[in-house]
Structure 1
Amino acid sequence: MAATDNDVGEALAGICEAAAALILPLWKSGVEVLTKADESPVTEADQRGEKLILEHLARLFPGVPVVSEEDASEFGTPDRIGPRFFLVDPLDGTKAFVRGDPNFTVNIALIEDGRPVAGAVSAPPTGETWFTHADGAMKRIHGGPAVPVRVRAWPKGQAVALVSHTMKEETAVKLANEYGFDLREPMDSSIKFCRIAEGAADIYPRHGPTMEWDVAAGHAVLEAAGGTLLTLEGGAFTYGKAQDGFRNGWFVARGG
């Protein structure tokens, strides 16, 4: 393997940034939107980004399997997977991308024994990239110097939850009562994990479906920054659920 375990996160960050540079010119360009079998949208940006990522991973990490969103939507997920593999979402937040909103991301995570041990998330419109490192979680902007990021302590009376744009008011109120947050901000994509990781928000309760590639890279960054992502019961949130088609259950992501 060309990259050591200590710098996998930084290597993945470089791949995410290369894909982001490819995707960004297609944003707000009137790119054609197709519909996948599950009725979700897909664009040329998703497809081109995934092709670039798969090429880079094959070169840097030969022999490590990859489960990737667009390939899975076209050919199905594998029936089984080994203990070490990559999860890739080349464009998380395709609906935001199509709307012209800036909250979409490029995501790569390395899974080992059911856990995300390295990951990177890049936000093409802002040039921000978050990634795991031996010393914790890091962030850089437009390829500049990387700086450490860390979750913040729960700010009593000012705790911010990140929620879906489509969440109904009654659902948001119920979640606020359940989790004790005071403010909420609607946001798309895995950038929610990164905002919590850098101390800009505090909690992301997800009472709804996701796929493993939607979550894994953000999970890796959040944990490296001192946060947690757990099941609603407080158990470990695991990956490699081939028997379930790599679908996730509900979860709660938290900062400090």
Structure 2
Amino acid sequence: MIPLPGQPVLPYNKERTVAISAVRRACIVTQKVFETLVNTEFITKGDESPVTVGDFAAQAVISAILGNVFPEDPIVGEEDAVELRKNKDLSHRITALVNEGLTDERLFYEKEEWGIGQGYDIAPREVNDAIDKGKFEGGNEGRMWTIDPIDGTKGFLRGEQYAVCLSLIVDGKPTVGVIGCPNLPHRTGKPEVQKGYIFVAVKEQGSERLTMQGYDPTIIAMPTVHPSDLVVLESVESGHSLHSFNARVSELLTVEEPPCRMDSQAKYCALAMGRGHLYLRMPTRSDYEEKIWDHAPGTLLVEEAGGIVTNSKGGPLNFGLGRTLGKNSGILACGSWVYPKVLDAVRVASRESRKRAKSREAIRAAAAAASTPPPNVPLPPPPAPDKRPVQGDDKENRPEADVKL
């Protein structure tokens, strides 16, 4: 937490405090974008993921602050300014948003020397340069920051869950993680409920939940529940994770509760708070490599809350390989108390999946060799469709669950 006068200063306290400020201000920008701009204003990247003006502005805010306070630290960011340098009108609009975030009134824990507060506007060229600081290729030595300015862009465009994510990685290990979730909780129907939280974790110092202003820290920890009461957290988009695989794992664990689907690293936050108990993300493509900024802060948050995060084979996530986790084979995150059972279930489901794939390949190969499909040899059935009800479904068939805090 932010130390009061007379309190001891813990390791990485400055990094923690600056990160909270940077994420808070980036969240101000993203909220402003959603409130004032048409939500179809986005650029489509090569991987077909949309990038809103909020992505550029939020990354620029965070990068500018980090550059002022920790000028020697490299940054691994999701976006670059190539498109902005070609489009002066867009660049000037994003600059105006960035300056709203940077010049917002300072709170008691924020410092003028961080380059924030009234009078600290920056020019379009400086905005573009700040965004392009995020081109570092990563590695397993020294310090580096990762920025995911809007994790869950589609959720953001829908007005649902997204997250502004920042982490400090030291020698390949996540050491400070901050995640801003402006839309948690979602659709509570209770206007008095606090909306929007910042989640913070520091290695060996635990995990906390704060207000969007960075106040009122609350320690969070993962509870234990009966296996049948486990709530599985998974992505809204079926293209991001194999829902059918998750359904099979749930069946093996005798889970009775429907899954909770939401975008972004908000899933890690829900897991750390105990609003969900198991997060599974199995790749839908064999060649896909997870980005380090998509998991570094969330991994630390869950681990410091008492959980375990590994790949689907039980190995640790390696954040020192570069900008991705390499051939990582999925993400498994849950409480330490249930981890052995979950890992066993994932292994069984994986073996079943490989066996089905091998049977199909053998039949296809035989059919190709004979030039005609073999008669009366049915293909093995595909995995059963995911027919689980989803928490939060309503009359509008909205896929995202309500996370009650």
Instruction: State the Cα deviation string for residues 133-170 of structure 1 (Å, max 9, x = none).
Output: 46311111232311100011143321011012233663
Q: Of 159, 165, 168, which residue of structure 2 is paired with 1:100? A: 159
Q: Of 256, 276, 280, which residue of structure 2 is paired with 1:182? A: 256
Higher RCO by CA contacts (8 Å cutoff, separation 6 or greater): 1
Instruction: State the Cα deviation string for residues 14-72 of structure 1 (Å, max 9, x = none).
Output: 21111001110211531411101221100100000000000111122220111000139
Distance (whole Å) between structure 1 residues aligned to residue 229 and residue 81 of structure 2 = 40
Q: CA deviation at 1:180?
A: 5.3
Distance (whole Å) between structure 1 residues aligned to residue 333 and residue 316 of structure 2 = 12
Q: CA deviation at 1:215?
A: 0.9
Alignment partner, residue 324 of structure 2? 246
Going from structure 1 to structure 2, the CA distance change for 1:221 and 1:18 (only over 3 Å counts) comes to same
Instruction: State the Cα deviation string for residues 228-250 of structure 1 (Å, max 9, x = none).
Output: 111112111110322xx424521
Distance (whole Å) between structure 1 residues aligned to residue 243 and residue 69 of structure 2 = 46
Q: Which runs of 5 or more structure 2 residues have no equivalent in the other structure?
A: 1-9, 84-131, 184-194, 337-405
Q: CA deviation at 1:80?
A: 5.4
Give the conservation status (yes or no) of the 8 Å contact 2:151–2:164. Answer: yes
Alignment partner, residue 207 of structure 2? 137
Instruction: State the Cα deviation string for residues 189-239 of structure 1 (Å, max 9, x = none).
Output: 001001111111111011024311111111111111111111112111110
| Higher Rg | 2
Q: Which amino acid aligns with 2:248?
A: K
Matching of residue 42 in structure 1 with residue 51 in structure 2 = yes
Alignment partner, residue 126 of structure 2? none
Going from structure 1 to structure 2, the CA distance change for 1:169 and 1:5 (only over 3 Å counts) comes to closer
Query: What is the RMSD of the two structures over their aligned residues, measured on CA atoms?
Result: 2.4
Matching of residue 255 in structure 1 with residue 335 in structure 2 = yes
Distance (whole Å) between structure 2 residues aligned to residue 235 and residue 72 of structure 1 = 35
Q: Which runs of 5 or more structure 1 residues have no equivalent in the other structure?
A: none
Give the conservation status (yes or no) of the 8 Å contact 1:201–1:255. Answer: no
Secondary structure of the residue aligned to 1:49 is helix
Secondary structure of the residue aligned to 2:72 is coil
Going from structure 1 to structure 2, the CA distance change for 1:116 and 1:79 (only over 3 Å counts) comes to closer
Alignment partner, residue 197 of structure 2? 128
Distance (whole Å) between structure 1 residues aligned to residue 230 and residue 178 of structure 2 = 25
Distance (whole Å) between structure 2 residues aligned to residue 69 and residue 179 of structure 1 = 36
Give the conservation status (yes or no) of the 8 Å contact 1:36–1:73. Answer: no
Going from structure 1 to structure 2, the CA distance change for 1:164 and 1:72 (only over 3 Å counts) comes to farther
Q: Which amino acid aligns with 1:217?
A: P
Comparing 140-149 with 68-77, greater Cα deviation is found at: 68-77
Alignment partner, residue 30 of structure 1? 38
Aligned residues: 251
Distance (whole Å) between structure 1 residues aligned to residue 68 and residue 60 of structure 2 = 13
Secondary structure of the residue aligned to 1:253 is strand
Q: Of 309, 315, 318, which residue of structure 2 is paired with 1:229? A: 309
Give the conservation status (yes or no) of the 8 Å contact 1:37–1:73. Answer: no
Secondary structure of the residue aligned to 1:91 is strand
Give the conservation status (yes or no) of the 8 Å contact 1:10–1:120. Answer: no
Instruction: State the Cα deviation string for residues 62-92 of structure 1 (Å, max 9, x = none).
Output: 2011100013997795455343211110100
Distance (whole Å) between structure 2 residues aligned to residue 234 and residue 202 of structure 1 = 17
Going from structure 1 to structure 2, the CA distance change for 1:214 and 1:180 (only over 3 Å counts) comes to farther
Instruction: State the Cα deviation string for residues 84-112 of structure 1 (Å, max 9, x = none).
Output: 211110100001111222x1000001111
- Greater percentage in strand: 1
TM-score (norm 1): 0.89
Give the conservation status (yes or no) of the 8 Å contact 2:228–2:256. Answer: yes
Alignment partner, residue 177 of structure 2? 119
